[in-house]
Amino acid sequence: MRTIAVVNQKGGCGKTTVSINLASALADMGHKTLLVDMDPQSHCAVGLAVPEDQIEQSIYDVLISTSRNEPIRLTEVLWQISDRLELAPASIDLSAFEQQMAGIPERECCLKNVLAQVLSEYDYAIVDCPPAVGLLTFNALRAATDAIVPVETGYFALHGLSKQLETLSILCKRCNRQVDVRVLASMYDIRTKMAREILAELRNHFADKMFKTIVNFNTKLKEAASLGQPIAEYDPVSRGQMDFHALAEEVIGSRPKEQRHEIVKSLAGQLEAISTTADQLLKSAKIPKTEGPPIQEIKAPKAEEPQKTETPQKTETDIKLSDYYGVSQINDAVVFVTLYPRAKDVQIAGDFNNWQPEKTPLHKVGTSGVWQTKLKVPAGKYRYRLVVDGHWQQDPYNENAELNPFGGFNSIVDVK
């Protein structure tokens, strides 16, 4: 069983939304999944229409029972949500957990010990953490094999990121466990320039510590939660559903069994590295402290080796990231520039090449993670998608897009 803690002490960054919908997507893909709510706010129950007044026993009772002589089994508190998804709900009592466990040895290992009883019964356990760094979050990290840190793609989220990760890192040093931790861009609003620039910077700095999948801002996710449904049930063709399907695929694919031993690193070390880059990121980005005024001074990454394809002119390296990435027309050619530091292969499929990606590969620019290509096409409106290591996706730096017949989005470029 893989145990994935969804953690960030910042409130409202999307932890519960990620927990519920990732768990639901994994279950829909055939994996037996357990969702554990470690937040006294009990939002997982709310988001899955489990009536709070009927929760007689919660994960609190199971955790606390480990320190008493009347053990309660996890299976006694579970609610079945769908064929392969079960919820261990939280309750307000959890807010007293830290106080009640004070002085009890091994109090950080309660969840780990509880989950150890069901290791062979589930493929995944997703643990939703409270917006605080305390004994509950520590229990989650202690039990985890992986951690997902959702980060809102807004300036203020970025500003707090370094502090958040630093605290987590201190906590994890005590934990001394080997966990794979990754940042997930959440609530991404492609229409705002701020979000696009921050995504570019996050990708550039965090590289392989970041999920390729982005969770877009999608009001359907909010509606689904308020009606107590996972997005897959509420609106199976929504953008939100596509994002969580892709996230689940990436999670499943991220650690093929045979490679596990190579990937495992210390969580504390990784968080420290991420936190340092978050600081550098803030310094280098020179992003204004308020949303609103346009960003003037973000430099596009430098090309480090001679470029094989024709590229945007040199002066363009000083322009804003939002103008640099995506698609633009330069004279009679269309230039595609994108950022995928971890990709091995980036191609474009579109009307102009009969949707055959192998005909239009992008070329890697040095080691910066930037990929680009230039095409000459007659004037007209073209639809395209990026194909990154075989995964078809919308161009994240082009806000001009339309729904395609397959339920995905095609990016659009108008060549004059």
Ligand X SMILES: Nc1ncnc2c1ncn2[C@@H]1O[C@H](COP(=O)(O)OP(=O)(O)OP(=O)(O)O)[C@@H](O)[C@H]1O
Q: How far is CA 26 from the centre of its chain?
A: 15
Give the relative orientation of helices 15-28 and 239-254 as an angle to the nearest 10 degrees. Answer: 70
Tell me how far, at minimum, the Cβ of 376 lies from ligand X, in Å: 38
Q: Contact with ligand X (CB under 6 A): which of 2, 23, 28, 43? A: 43
Tell me how far, at minimum, the Cβ of 126 lies from ligand X, in Å: 12
Please say whether the beta carbons of 349 and 392 come within 8 A. yes
Site for Mg ion in 14-33 (CB under 5 A): 15-16
The piece of 6-14, 57-65, 267-275, 371-379 that touches ligand X (CB under 6 A) is 6-14
Tell me how far, at minimum, the Cβ of 113 lies from ligand X, in Å: 25
Specify the residue for token string 């730096």.
397
By CB under 5 A, is residue 209 in contact with Mg ion?
A: no
Q: What is the Cα–Cα distance from 46 to 340, expressed in whole angstroms? A: 37
225 binds, among Mg ion, ligand X, none (CB under 5 to 8 A by kind): ligand X
By CB under 6 A, is residue 218 in contact with ligand X?
A: yes
49: left (phi over 0), alpha (psi -120 to 50) or beta: left
Please say whether the beta carbons of 228 and 24 come within 8 A. no
By CB under 5 A, is residue 43 in contact with Mg ion?
A: yes
Please say whether the beta carbons of 202 and 151 come within 8 A. yes
Q: What is the Cα–Cα distance from 94 to 133, expressed in whole angstroms? A: 14
Give the residue with the Cβ less far from ligand X, 17 or 394: 17
Q: What is the Cα–Cα distance from 133 to 362, expressed in whole angstroms? A: 43
Tell me how far, at minimum, the Cβ of 12 lies from Mg ion, in Å: 8
Give the residue with the Cβ less far from ligand X, 41 or 178: 41
By CB under 6 A, is residue 183 in contact with ligand X?
A: no
The piece of 36-44, 112-120, 303-311, 388-396 that touches ligand X (CB under 6 A) is 36-44
Which residue from 129, 130, 98, 109 is spatially nearest to 174, judged by alpha carbons? 109
Q: What is the Cα–Cα distance from 409 to 321, expressed in whole angstroms? A: 22
Dihedral through CA 108, CA 114, CA 118, CA 119, nearest 10?
20
Q: Contact with ligand X (CB under 6 A): which of 39, 146, 180, 201? A: 39
Q: What is the Cα–Cα distance from 303 to 309, expressed in whole angstroms? A: 12
By CB under 6 A, is residue 16 in contact with ligand X?
A: yes
Please say whether the beta carbons of 112 and 142 come within 8 A. yes
Site for ligand X in 115-134 (CB under 6 A): 131
By CB under 6 A, is residue 227 in contact with ligand X?
A: no
Q: Contact with ligand X (CB under 6 A): which of 2, 4, 5, 17? A: 17
Please say whether the beta carbons of 178 and 144 come within 8 A. no
Indicate the residue whose CB is closest to Mg ion.
16
Rounded to 5 degrees, what are φ and ψ at 99? -60, -45
Q: Contact with ligand X (CB under 6 A): which of 137, 164, 186, 213? A: 186
Give the residue with the Cβ less far from ligand X, 144 or 300: 144
Please say whether the beta carbons of 310 and 336 come within 8 A. no
Site size toward ligand X (CB under 6 A) is 20
Site for Mg ion in 169-188 (CB under 5 A): none
By CB under 6 A, is residue 221 in contact with ligand X?
A: yes
By CB under 6 A, is residue 214 in contact with ligand X?
A: no
Residues near ligand X, by CB under 6 A: 11-17, 39, 41, 43, 131, 186-187, 215, 217-219, 221-222, 225
